[in-house]
Amino acid sequence: GAVVSQHPSRVICKSGTSVKIECRSLDFQATTMFWYRQFPKKSLMLMATSNEGSKATYEQGVEKDKFLINHASLTLSTLTVTSAHPEDSSFYICSAKGQGQETQYFGPGTRLLVL
């Protein structure tokens, strides 16, 4: 149980375009979802936290207009990188947690490359 999927696993896009990444909890209801960014050989940096049906809470320094997060249902959250630039290239990982759960379950990650 507690499986989280992400789609796509890899995406290459041109600078200036927008990219949407989906995060789904497959076998549980994710009342809270988290989006992380991981730079090469670095730890995970929390970007934002979202509760189903509410606006996301962004960490300091993360541009909410650039990284749009939607958590419209208990099984789906999306991260849209708007007007992507090469410096947005990174590994984006989502995680999900159910009501009352202590554990976050992580997706397999999405490798974004902006040319």
Partner 1 sequence: AQSVTQLGSHVSVSEGALVLLRCNYSSSVPPYLFWYVQYPNQGLQLLLKYTTGATLVKGINGFEAEFKKSETSFHLTKPSAHMSDAAEYFCAVRTNSGYSTLTFGKGTMLLVSP
Are the C-beta atoms of residues 19 and 80 closer than 8 Å to each other? yes
Q: Contact with partner 1 (CB under 8 A): which of 51, 80, 82, 89? A: 51
3-state DSSP call for residue 87? helix
- Indicate the pairing of strand 110-114 with strand 10-13: parallel
* Segment lying near partner 1 (by CB under 8 A), choices 14-22, 62-70, 74-82, 98-106: 98-106
String marking each residue 11-50 x if it binds partner 1 according to CB under 8 A:
---------------------x-x-------xxx-x--x-
Q: How far is the CB of 44 from partner 1 (least distance, A)?
A: 5
Nearest residue (CB) to partner 1, 89 versus 104: 104
69 is an interface residue for partner 1 by CB under 8 A: no
Report CA torsion sign: 55, 39, 9, 108. negative
Q: Is 106 in the site for partner 1 (CB under 8 A)?
A: yes
At a CB cut-off of 8 Å and minimum separation 6, what does 58 contact? 47, 48, 64, 67
Query: How many other C-beta atoms are found inside a 10 Å radius of the C-beta of residue 34?
Result: 22
Which parts of this chain interact with partner 1 (CB under 8 A)? 4, 6, 32, 34, 42-44, 46, 49, 51, 57, 91, 93, 95, 97, 102-109, 111
